[in-house]
Amino acid sequence: MREFRFGIVLAAFVIALCAGYQGRAGEDMLTRMKALNPHLKSYEAQIHVDIALHTFPYISPSLDGTYYHKEPSKDKIAFDTVPALARQFNKVYPRIESPSRWNKIFVVTNMGDDGTLTTFKLVPRVRGRIDHITAKVDDKTATIPQLTWNYNDGGYAQVNQEFAVVNGNYVVKAAKGHVEVPAYKADISSSFTNFKLNPNLPDSVFKQN
């Protein structure tokens, strides 16, 4: 599984709330998603994560750290803990790609709108472990409350996200996920606080240790 930096890819998931907006065609929605928060170029936040592995080694660590994002696709968490626990976290979740990159990475199909959520099917252009991703998009806000990764070798991973408004921007304030693959099962809960928007983040911040 690709390393997951609990990428909330903030700029790709946020938009000003449009009260009463009725979801239109899939391409229309994707355009809205790509145009989110044009002035938000970077951010950092404090992250708290609770993990419960339901297979060996059956650990349930709690992790704290700082999450960094820089447009268009740089993400990293620096955990305030021992590296072994951080590595366990990095194993159990896939990366969330920005909708601004979807057409480049995936074949994107609009699967329909139920009046509340628009569903997209994302099939990787380069074959790998992921068979497809299902993304459910809120018609009013153009945020993504749910993503599900379906794997060729069996199993899936799902994340459900909650959003808050910070200085006019929608940001992910909490996420709950479940991973169920042949090698392991895990539940993950995370929360994000103390957002700093548009800090100066040099590329050196994102070097992996």
Banded model confidence at residue 19, pLDDT cuts 50, 70, 90? very low
Q: What is the percent of the chain with per-residue pLDDT over 90, rounded to a whole number?
A: 44
Q: For position 16, what pLDDT does the model report?
A: 22
* pLDDT tens string 40-97: 889 999 999 998 989 988 888 888 989 898 887 788 888 887 666 666 565 555 567 8
Q: For position 89, what pLDDT does the model report?
A: 60
Banded model confidence at residue 24, pLDDT cuts 50, 70, 90? very low
Q: Residue 94 corresponds to which tokens in the numbers above? A: 């896939």
Above 50 in pLDDT, residue 8?
no
Q: For position 39, what pLDDT does the model report?
A: 84
For residue 95, the 8-state DSSP code is P
Q: For position 77, what pLDDT does the model report?
A: 83
* pLDDT tens string 161-174: 999 889 988 888 99
Q: Residue 23 corresponds to which tokens in the numbers above? A: 């979801």
Q: For position 209, what pLDDT does the model report?
A: 60
| CA–CA distance, 18 with 25 (Å, rounded to integer) | 16
Q: For position 160, what pLDDT does the model report?
A: 96
Q: For position 132, what pLDDT does the model report?
A: 96
Q: Who contacts 205 (Cβ-Cβ below 8 Å, separation ≥6)? A: 68, 70, 76
* pLDDT tens string 91-127: 555 567 888 889 999 999 999 999 999 999 999 999 9
Q: Name the helix (H) or strand (E) containing 75.
A: strand 74-79
Domain residue spans of the chain: 10-100+163-206
Q: Residue 6 corresponds to which tokens in the numbers above? A: 């609990």
For residue 136, the 8-state DSSP code is E
Above 60 in pLDDT, residue 176?
yes
| CA–CA distance, 89 with 103 (Å, rounded to integer) | 29
